[in-house]
Amino acid sequence: MRLRAFFMKLQVSSSPHIRDNVTTFALMRDVVIALIPAVIASGIIFGLRAVLVILVSVFSCLVFEYISRRIMKRNNTLSDLTAVVTGILLSFNLPPTIPYYMVVVGAFFAIVVVKQMFGGLGNNFVNPALTARIILAIAFPNAMTSWTAAEGPFNFLRSLQGADLVSSATPLAILKMQGSAGALELPSYLSLFLGNISGCIGEVSTLALAIGVIYLVSRKVITLWIPLSYIGTVMLITLLGGKDPFYQLLAGGLFLGAFFMATDYVTSPVTRNGRIIFGICCGLITGVIRLFGNMSEGVSFSILLMNILTPHLDRFTMPKPFGEVKKHEKA
């Protein structure tokens, strides 16, 4: 076949001319897959209602993203799956009995205010799901703090029969109660690990989340600098504070927050050292709030505060170019 140069349409572009296989879509798809065990666990532990909350959240996020992009005359980005991830993570931070309309309000804040109004994917300066959760906690404090007792797989069957769920206190709240009258018994490590406790939809089952983490790490979606430095710092502070570090690890939203929320690409540092400092500072804030604060939970606030510092961390921890010597050193 003779090359007729004159008629050929050749692509001309800057080097490099090849690309790795990884795409934004593939990364988000892996995150969704990693969250599926926790979705299933929430259904087993809290019943159908929890799964419906997740679905309402994801659906609302998708709808809000589509509408806001249309109104702003921007391209349709539903196919990158980021709205789905935000939807799942938002619902994971809500109690199972939260009224559906509040879920929709949360989705609105997450997608339209935090994400799209700042320019869409890559431009938000704080974690959308987490910020929405905090807004809901402030706007609807009662609904956001009514917890349901987990009665194992029976909850699923009970909810199908239309029975109401029994309310109970979260493990961290129970911890704060200790020593006062009417304090409940601390749940066992096994209950904490499996998720046979009350709490937010996605935070209770450490086992389900851990399966997701193993998947994410094996697919090279997240690095472990942030989660390990975050959790390590919390455990260290708890130890110094005379409390049980393993209880802290398994209770509350620390496991979910450290592995799935703090590692959000857009709002966490790009450098290794930046990530370590980010994790340690998150750990410090969470630890201090949990030990000394009024609230039993501190994860959302610590991640939010550190999100804001991320650009500064990036600049501060910028690596030295290869071969650069300090001015007082000899070349």
In the complex, the residues that contact other proteins under the rule CB under 8 A are: 1-3, 5, 8-20, 22-24, 26-27, 80, 120-123, 223, 265-271, 314-315, 318-325, 331
Per-residue 3-state assignment (H helix, E strand, C coil) for 262-298: CCCCCCCCCCHHHHHHHHHHHHHHHHHHHHHCCCCCC
Q: Smallest distance, Å, CB 110 to other proteins? A: 16
H/E stretch holding 255: helix 254-256
Q: How far apart are CA 106 and CA 113, in angstroms?
A: 10
Nearer CB in complex with other proteins: 164/324 = 324
Nearest 5 degrees, angle CA 165-CA 63-CA 55?
A: 25
Closest by alpha carbon to 31, among 261, 230, 195?
A: 261
Q: How far apart are CA 193 and CA 189, in angstroms?
A: 6
Nearer CB in complex with other proteins: 16/162 = 16
Nearer CB in complex with other proteins: 76/178 = 76
DSSP-assigned states of every residue in 82-126:
HHHHHHHHHHHTS-TT--HHHHHHHHIIIIIIIIGGGTSTT--SS
Q: Smallest distance, Å, CB 231 to other proteins? A: 20
Q: How far apart are CA 269 and CA 328, in angstroms?
A: 30
Q: Smallest distance, Å, CB 262 to other proteins? A: 14
Nearer CB in complex with other proteins: 211/266 = 266
The answer to whether residues 39 and 96 touch, using CB atoms and an 8 Å cutoff, is no
Nearer CB in complex with other proteins: 80/244 = 80
Q: Smallest distance, Å, CB 314 to other proteins? A: 7
Q: Smallest distance, Å, CB 142 to other proteins? A: 36
* Amino acid symbol at 311: P
Q: Smallest distance, Å, CB 5 to other proteins? A: 5
Nearer CB in complex with other proteins: 9/73 = 9
